[in-house]
């Protein structure tokens, strides 16, 4: 009977997906067997999730109509009207059953606390979650450590420890971990923190934000100094000039987009459970402020599906809000929390975060220009409606299930009982937005036309916004020539051949002023319980003063934080090499010649297990270090063997030409192929990755890990370098490390619209 019900439901509600959406689901979400073969289709996935989450109703009513609720949940997802956060889609109804994306962990001022948190971080990352931390309680650098009569190394040093641990977890083949590090602006080490990501590739597993206080902002307004406080003693630990510190924050954000800022006092002014605790940190993208040990599960409504008679379909929207609140509250009960205390705190406050995607799509269909007064008014109207209806739905659940346990300690204590301490969050919708074919969160459209290379025939194809394409063909201005120009320009405002009414409505992120970004964020924040994930995009020619204005405006308009990105800024950083000396004379490229190979070399041969079979990698050295690499893989003359030989020859040439060994390792390590494998507890992602790890192991300054079968002992000497492929995300127009398409900076993160890759999830 259950199977009949499932089959009938699925056959009546087939999921309609475009090519990108199907690719993302197949790559990241659908179940596979031990050989990597798909054993689930999109309909099966949504039914699996719906059936699993509906089971929570039995906790409160043994006679609950789970079949009917499964149908309700399935239709809401299969129609792509509503989607929960990625961990719920991936894990509900499967062995892991970890359903939350957002976690915040405390970091107290003791070694026990620091490394207990580090252990918990590893467990969360292993389960697919992201973590946020405030390091503000740690004593400053050079402060007293009584137990050892020594001095503290300070918060930044421990952030580096957490970053290295995240790196190790990622290299072990698990899902990518993401972190947020926050430090209060009144911490004595704030100047070190502001510049801790100045060098390209440093702390590449962290977003960083400064927790800005009211005291600081008041001092900034009055051009005064403000106090620093030693977190160990609570005593004043000196002063800094607010304007000088602010200028340093602005300068770094202008340079490479970090640090962001979190207006921590504004966050706590809206804390719904102030008697339970103060909020110190957010999740990695900044939209979810949480108490220590809290988690939150999120979901988003696809506004592009809620149109009726050239207006918002308010009745349909009210229905999906009620379903979504019920769904997200059930997730709390069905969740398998990676740490017991997280489960306890989460169930005590029962925070959920219902948000939106497809905002730009809705505006296009209504003929409203993004950033216009009409768009800001509609933003407030829609978010006010969503918050009101979600609170109403939460109150209805409280009648049946009871209020959240900390209700009497909340701001709602004198109001009607409510099931959830918060109900609304506007989160990044990178991958679920691709699945739903929706614009991301509340961001504008990034581009109307993408130019995409086709590998098989070396031709270029256009990916055009479907609504724009439809109008272009109807109005008669569609052609490959104009699409090519739009793809290069990024905006249609200067194209006189396109009707003015279309140019006015079809604005992209290139057309919107930074001030309009903030106004849009503020309009949604006004009616959002938690916070709003948003990136303020600047053109490359923007000045530091432009960034400063946005930071001030976001504070005055009651945003809870702000993230900026100046187009091309991270590419500029890549070009500013840290070890480049002033007045250094560079040899022309044609003058660089490799040193001759000596007649006699010494080295080691490593047996590497790859997805293509056993690979023998020989790394030889001369008196100046590594000078050549040989590989033997499979049958001589085969395609795989020839590729490995080509890589080896190029590496050898680069080594003898003076190219830094770590640079070569960074380029190769992390490259993925369709057949990654686990070997002796670590992942070999491809043949190139195997060569890089053999080269790394042969370096006399590194420890040879147990991955390698050749046992060789070297003196241990630490040398920091970046082995994360994500370090290459720093470019102005960076490529996705997984599919090679262009990455975009949006919703507080770096995402790929082609394959669903996300730096933060």
Q: Would you please indicate which residues are annotated as catalytic (active-site) residues?
A: 283, 285, 287
All residues at 6 or more sequence positions from 455 whose CB lies less than 8 Å from its CB, including other chains: none
β partners of residue 628: 620
The tokens for 475 are 């109005």
Q: What is the DSSP string of 298-344?
A: EEEEEGGG-EETTEE-HHHHHHHHHHHHHHHHHHHHH---SSHHHHH
Distance (Å, whole) CA 180 – CA 342: 18
H or E element that contains 77: helix 66-78
All residues at 6 or more sequence positions from 101 whose CB lies less than 8 Å from its CB, including other chains: 85, 86, 87, 128, 129, 130, 283, 296, 297, 298, 427, 761
Q: What's the burial of 132, exposed, middle or buried (CB within 10 Å: 0-12/13-18/19+)?
A: buried
Distance (Å, whole) CA 609 – CA 612: 8
All residues at 6 or more sequence positions from 638 whose CB lies less than 8 Å from its CB, including other chains: none
Q: Give the total residue count for the chain.
A: 761
**What are the two backbone dihedrals, phi and then psi, of residue 444, each rounded to the nearest 5 degrees?**
-70, 170
β partners of residue 144: 151
Q: What is the DSSP string of 569-587?
A: HHHHHHHS-TTPPTTPPPP
Report CA dihedral (469, 472, 477, 483) to the nearest 10 degrees.
-30
Q: What is the DSSP string of 611-675?
A: TTEEEEEEEEEETTEEEEEEEEESSTTSHHHHHHHHHHHHHHHHHHTT--HHHHHHHHTT---S-
């Amino acid at each position: 009977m259950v199977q009949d019900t499932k089959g009938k439901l699925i056959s009546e509600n087939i999921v309609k997906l475009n090519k990108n959406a199907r690719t993302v689901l197949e790559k990241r979400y659908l179940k596979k067997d031990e050989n990597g073969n798909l054993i689930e289709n999109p309909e099966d996935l949504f039914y699996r999730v719906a059936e699993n989450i509906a089971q929570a109703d039995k906790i409160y009513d043994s006679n609950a109509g789970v079949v009917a609720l499964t149908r309700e949940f399935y239709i809401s997802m299969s129609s792509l009207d509503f989607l929960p956060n990625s961990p719920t889609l991936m894990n509900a109804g499967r062995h892991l059953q970890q359903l939350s994306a957002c976690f915040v962990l405390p970091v107290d001022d003791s070694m026990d606390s620091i490394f207990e948190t580090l252990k918990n971080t590893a467990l969360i990352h292993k389960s697919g979650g992201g973590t946020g931390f405030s390091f503000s309680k740690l004593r400053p650098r050079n402060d007293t450590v009584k137990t050892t009569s020594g001095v503290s190394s300070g918060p930044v040093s421990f952030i580096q420890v957490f970053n290295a641990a995240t790196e190790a977890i990622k290299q072990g083949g698990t899902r990518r971990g993401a972190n947020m590090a926050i430090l209060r602006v009144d911490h004595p080490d704030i100047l070190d923190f502001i510049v801790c990501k100045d060098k390209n590739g440093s702390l590449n597993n962290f977003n960083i934000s400064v927790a800005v206080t009211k005291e600081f902002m008041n001092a900034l307004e009055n051009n005064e100094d403000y106090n620093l406080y030693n977190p160990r003693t609570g005593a004043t630990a000196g002063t800094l000039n607010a304007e000088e510190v602010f200028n340093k924050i602005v300068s770094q954000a202008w340079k490479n987009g970090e640090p962001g800022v979190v207006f921590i006092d504004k966050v706590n002014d809206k804390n719904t459970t102030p008697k339970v605790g103060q909020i110190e940190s957010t999740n990695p993208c900044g939209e979810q402020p949480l108490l220590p040990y809290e988690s939150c599960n999120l979901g988003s409504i696809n506004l592009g599906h809620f149109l009726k008679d050239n207006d918002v379909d308010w009745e349909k929207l009210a229905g999906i809000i009620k379903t979504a609140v019920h769904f997200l509250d059930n997730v709390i009960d069905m969740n398998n929390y990676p740490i017991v205390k997280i489960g306890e705190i989460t169930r005590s406050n029962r925070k959920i975060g219902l948000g939106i995607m497809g905002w730009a799509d809705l505006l296009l269909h209504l003929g409203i220009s993004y950033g216009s007064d009409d768009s800001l008014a509609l933003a407030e109207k829609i978010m006010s409606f969503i918050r009101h209806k979600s609170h109403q739905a939460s109150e209805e659940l409280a009648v049946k299930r009871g209020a959240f346990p900390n209700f009497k300690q909340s701001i709602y204590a004198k109001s009607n009982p409510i099931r959830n301490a918060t109900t609304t969050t506007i989160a990044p919708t990178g991958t679920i937005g691709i699945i739903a074919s929706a614009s991301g969160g509340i961001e504008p459209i990034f581009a109307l036309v993408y130019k995409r290379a086709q590998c098989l025939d070396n031709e270029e194809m256009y990916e055009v916004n479907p609504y724009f394409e439809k109008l272009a063909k109807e109005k008669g201005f569609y052609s490959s020539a104009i699409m090519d120009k739009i793809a290069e320009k990024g905006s249609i405002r200067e194209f006189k051949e396109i009707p003015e009414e279309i140019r006015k409505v079809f604005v992209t992120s290139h057309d919107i002023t930074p001030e309009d970004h903030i106004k849009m964020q503020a309009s949604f924040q006004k009616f959002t319980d938690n916070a709003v994930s948003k990136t303020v995009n600047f053109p490359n020619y923007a000045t530091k003063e432009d960034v400063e204005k946005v930071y001030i405006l976001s504070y005055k308009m009651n945003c809870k934080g702000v993230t900026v990105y100046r187009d091309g800024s991270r590419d500029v950083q890549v070009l500013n090499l840290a070890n480049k000396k002033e007045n250094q004379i560079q040899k022309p490229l044609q003058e660089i010649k490799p040193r001759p190979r000596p007649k006699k070399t010494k080295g080691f041969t490593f047996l590497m297990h790859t997805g293509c079979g056993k690979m023998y990698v020989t790394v030889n050295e001369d008196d100046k270090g590594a000078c050549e690499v040989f590989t033997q893989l499979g049958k001589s003359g085969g395609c795989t063997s020839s590729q490995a030989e080509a890589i080896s020859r190029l590496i050898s040439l680069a080594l003898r030409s003076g190219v830094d060994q770590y640079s070569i390792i960074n380029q190769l390590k992390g490259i993925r192929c369709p057949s990654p494998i686990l070997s002796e507890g670590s992942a070999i992602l491809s043949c190139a990755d195997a060569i890089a790890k053999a080269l790394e192991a042969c370096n006399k300054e590194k420890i040879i890990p147990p991955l390698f079968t050749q046992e060789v002992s070297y003196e241990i000497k630490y040398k920091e370098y970046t082995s994360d492929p994500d370090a290459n995300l720093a470019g102005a127009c960076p490529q996705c490390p997984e599919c090679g398409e262009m990455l975009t900076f949006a919703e507080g993160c770096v995402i790929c619209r082609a394959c669903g890759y996300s730096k933060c999830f």
